[in-house]
Chains A and B, each alone.
Chain A
C-alpha cells in the first residue's frame, strides 16, 4: 500500500508537470487581458513533438541525442525523492536532499553539453549563461535546505517534511522565514522564470534556457520540455512540502490521501497564480544583475544557517 502510494506520488509530479505550466500560462494570459490557450495545451505540444522527427545537426555527436534522455531520466528520478501526499516518498526514505540537488545538477550538466554539441554560437551562449546562474544558485540552494535539515535533525527529505507537518503552523521560526526567502529566489533562478530568465522569449540574444535548446526538435525537445516542467513542479512541491506541508496525510487511509490530494492541488493552484502574477508584473533582469539577485538569496541562506545555531 505504502509503496503503491509512493509510486503514485512520483508519477503524479511527472504527470501534472505540463498541467502546471499550462495553468501558469493561462493565468498569465488572463492577467494580460488575453483569453489564452487551454490549460491542457502543453500535453498537446508534447504529443505533437513526440510524433515528429529528430533533427540532428551534422556536426553533432551521439551525445546530442543522449543528453535529453539523461536529463529526463535524472529529473524523474529526482521527482521520486519529493514527498507529495505523504511525508514519505519513493526514494525519500533513505534519500536526502544532497542527492536530489546533485541529480538536478547532473541533468543540467548534460543539457549544457548537448547545447554545445550543436556547433553554433547560440548553444554555447545559453550554456555559458546557464553556467553562471546555476553556479551562483548552488550555494544558497544548499544552505537553505541545510538550515531546515538542521532544524529537523535529519538530511532525509521525508524526515524534514515530517518535522514540518508536526510543527504548529503559527509557531513560525525565523529560520523558516529566511530559508523560504532564499529558496524561493533560488527556485525562480533554477527553473528559469522571470525575472531571471524568460521562458517565452523569442529573442536569441536574451535567452538562457531557450538558447540551450535552440538546436533541439521533435522527441528530444519534448523530453527537454517535459523535464523542465517536471523540474519546476518538483521544486514547487519541495517548497510546499518543506514550508507548508499541512494537509498531508500522516497515515495511509484513503480519506486522508484524498484530502491530501485536494490540499496539494489547492496549494499548487495558489502557487501557480503567484508565479503568474510575479511574471506579469516584473521585467526580466539584465544578466549581470542576476548575481546580485542570487547574492540576496545567499545572504538569506547564510543567515538562516547562522540562526539555527543562535536560536537553540
Chain B
C-alpha cells in the first residue's frame, strides 16, 4: 500500500510472509492483552489514568503494526520511534516518582542510542540505493562493497540489539519492564522486543542476504552470553517482574543463538540447516511471545489479588487462585522447554540444527555449533531451577504474608485471556505440525531456498506419540486407589511450624549463586554490634547490594567520559551574543571551504 501521494513523506506499507507472521503475533497477543486489560484497568485506574491507558494502549499496538508492515525507511523509523514514546507514556501512568523517571530516562536514552545506530545503517544504503524503500535497498546490496555491508550489519546488530536487550545492551530492560502496568509489561516483553528481532532478520537475511561466517559467530556469542547471564541474573531476583524481565534477556539470547546458527549455515552453503535454524529462531520468537505475555499477565493477576509481586511475600496461591495457578504452571513449563509445551519444540529444532553443524566441512563451525548445544542445555537447566523456585515459592506451600493468605481468584476476562494463551502454548507443544509448515514457508522465502528441512517434521511425529503415552499413563495411574488423609506437615516432632520456616526464594537460589559467585560479585557487609560480652551480639545487620557488573565496568566509565566532555564543552557557552555570532560565522566559513574542496 503506497501512501506517498497522500502524505508529504515516502510512506508505504507492504505485507510479505514475515510481516504476516509478526502481524499475527502482535494482533493475537495484543487482543488477549486488551481482553485482560478490560478488568485490570477497571480495577486499578479511574478517571484520567484509565483514559490515558485506553488511548495509549491501542496507539502502542498500532505503532508496532506499523513497524512490521513498513516498506520504507521513513515509515519504519516513524513507527519505531512512536513505539518507544508510547511505551514510555504507558509506564508513566503508574506514577512519576524520581526513581521511575530515572528508569524511564535510561530507557529513552538507550532507545535513542539504538535508533541512532539504526538510522546510520539506513543511511549507509543511500549512496548505492536511489531511495530508501525496501525494494531498492534490497537491490542495492548487490553492488555494495563488502566493507559497507559489514558496517550495515554491525550498526543494525547494535541498534536492534539494544531494543532486543542483548547483554550488555540490556541495561534498560530490567529497569523499564517491571515498572510498567502488567498488561503493558506483557506487551513490551512479549511483542515489542520481537519487533527488534523482526527488524534484525529483515536487515540481515532479507536485505543483506546473509554474510560471512563471523557475522554468525558474533550473533552466536551475543546469544550465548545473553542467554546464560540473563537466566543467572533472573535466578538471583525475587521481584517477580524483574525476574521475568531477565528471562526476556535469556530468551532473546536463545533466539539469537538460532539466528547465529542460521547465519553460519548460510555462510557455509547449507541451506537446509539454515532454514531449520531460522525456523527455530522464528518459532521461539512466536513461543516467547505467547508464554512471556502469559507470565506477565499472571504477574498482573498476582499483584491484583495479593497486592505484591515480591515472591518472598507470596505462597500458597495455587489453592487460592486455581485458574491463575494452573495457567501460570503451563507458562512455566513452556518457558523452560518441557516436552508437550511450546518452548520445547523451538529448543528441539535449535538443538537439532546445532548438532547438524558437525556435518559442516568448515572445522571451526563443526566445533562451535555442537558446543552451542551445551550452552543451550545449560541455559535450559538454569531456567528449570529458576522456575521451580518461582512457582514453588509463589504458588505452593503456605502463604508468607497476610495479603497472600487472603488472595482470591481474579475476574473472568483476566482468566479467559490467560487460559487462551495457555491453550495456544499446549497446542503448539503437542502438535507442532500445525505451525511448522507455515513457518518453514516464511524462512524459505527469506533464504530463497526450496529444500524443506526434513528433520523438522520428525518432531511433529514424535510429540503426539509422547503426549498420548504420557496422558494414558497419567489417567491410568490416577485411577489407582489412593486413600488420602490430611495431616500437619512434619516438623521434627515439634509444634508450631510457620511460614517463616519455609525455604525462601533467596535460600533456594543460594547454592547456585554461590557456584556462580563470579558472575554476581555481590557487595556484602555484615555489622555485628557487641555490648560487653564477646559472644552474644546485640544486633546483627546484613546488607547485600548487587549491581550487575556491567553497570560499574562498562556504563560507568562511558557515562563519566560523556559528562566530563560535556563539562569541557560548556566553556563554549559563554552567554555572550558576539561569541555566538562568531561561531555562526566560523561554521559558515568552514562549510564554504568544505564545499569548495569536497
Residues of A within 8 A of B (CB): 50, 53-63, 65, 69-70, 72-74, 76-77, 80, 91, 94-96, 98-99, 101-103, 105-106, 108-109, 112-113, 115-125, 127-129, 131-132, 134-143, 146-147, 149-150, 153, 155, 214-215, 218-220, 223, 287-288, 291, 298, 301-302, 305-306, 308-310, 312
CB distance from A75 to the nearest CB of B (A): 9
Q: Which of A62, A142, A298 contacts B373 (CB 8 A)?
A: A142
Q: Which of A56, A134, A219 contacts B381 (CB 8 A)?
A: A134
Q: Which of A58, A80, A105 contacts B469 (CB 8 A)?
A: A80
A121-B503, A146-B355, A306-B367 known; A77+B398 contact, CB < 8 A? no
A98-B348, A139-B374, A306-B367 known; A58+B515 contact, CB < 8 A? no
A141: chain B residues at CB < 8 Å are 377
A53-B483, A305-B367 known; A139+B316 contact, CB < 8 A? no
A142: chain B residues at CB < 8 Å are 351, 373-374, 376-377
CB pair B502 A119 closer than 8 Å = yes
Q: Which of A60, A112, A220 contacts B482 (CB 8 A)?
A: A220
A80-B469, A124-B507 known; A73+B318 contact, CB < 8 A? no
CB pair A215 B490 closer than 8 Å = yes
**Interface of B, helix, strand, loop or mixed by DSSP:** helix
CB pair A120 B333 closer than 8 Å = no
**Interface of A, helix, strand, loop or mixed by DSSP:** helix
A65: chain B residues at CB < 8 Å are 482, 484
Interface residue tally on B, bucketed by range: 35 or more
A134-B381, A136-B381 known; A302+B487 contact, CB < 8 A? no
23 A-B pairs in the complex with CB atoms less than 8 angstroms apart: A53-B484, A61-B319, A69-B478, A76-B473, A103-B339, A103-B466, A106-B339, A113-B388, A113-B392, A116-B388, A116-B392, A119-B397, A120-B497, A129-B511, A131-B511, A132-B511, A138-B381, A139-B377, A142-B374, A146-B370, A149-B355, A219-B481, A310-B367
CB pair A309 B366 closer than 8 Å = yes
Cβ-closest chain B residue relative to A218: B482
Contact with A along B348-391 (1 / 0, CB 8 A): 10011011001100010011001101111110111011011101
The complex places the Cα of A310 from the Cα of B367 at a distance, in Å, of: 8
The complex places the Cα of A310 from the Cα of B363 at a distance, in Å, of: 8
Contact with A along B484-520 (1 / 0, CB 8 A): 1111111100000101011110011111101100000
Q: Which of B319, B473, B501 contacts A121 (CB 8 A)?
A: B501
CB pair A119 B497 closer than 8 Å = yes
The complex places the Cα of A173 from the Cα of B357 at a distance, in Å, of: 21
CB pair A54 B484 closer than 8 Å = yes
A302: chain B residues at CB < 8 Å are 371, 374
The complex places the Cα of A95 from the Cα of B482 at a distance, in Å, of: 33
A99-B466, A109-B388 known; A116+B473 contact, CB < 8 A? no
The complex places the Cα of A62 from the Cα of B329 at a distance, in Å, of: 13
Q: Does B70 lie at the interface of the complex (its beta carbon under 8 Å from any beta carbon of A)?
A: no
A116-B393, A150-B358, A287-B511 known; A125+B380 contact, CB < 8 A? no
CB pair B396 A116 closer than 8 Å = yes
Q: Does B43 lie at the interface of the complex (its beta carbon under 8 Å from any beta carbon of A)?
A: no
CB pair A91 B465 closer than 8 Å = yes
Q: Does B572 lie at the interface of the complex (its beta carbon under 8 Å from any beta carbon of A)?
A: no
Q: Which of B384, B396, B489 contacts A105 (CB 8 A)?
A: B384
B271: chain A residues at CB < 8 Å are none
Max chain B C-beta neighbours (<10 A), residue from A102, A105, A118, A137: A102
A291: chain B residues at CB < 8 Å are 515
CB pair B392 A58 closer than 8 Å = no
The complex places the Cα of A220 from the Cα of B483 at a distance, in Å, of: 10
Inter-chain pairs besides A94-B462, A99-B348, A291-B515, 6 sampled, C-beta below 8 Å: A54-B485, A102-B338, A116-B397, A119-B316, A128-B511, A305-B371
A132: chain B residues at CB < 8 Å are 385, 511-512, 515
Q: Which of A91, A118, A131, A306 contacts B466 (CB 8 A)?
A: A91
A105: chain B residues at CB < 8 Å are 336, 338, 380-381, 384
CB distance from B64 to the nearest CB of A (A): 32
Q: Which of B358, B374, B488 contacts A301 (CB 8 A)?
A: B374
The complex places the Cα of A138 from the Cα of B278 at a distance, in Å, of: 24
Q: Does B130 lie at the interface of the complex (its beta carbon under 8 Å from any beta carbon of A)?
A: no
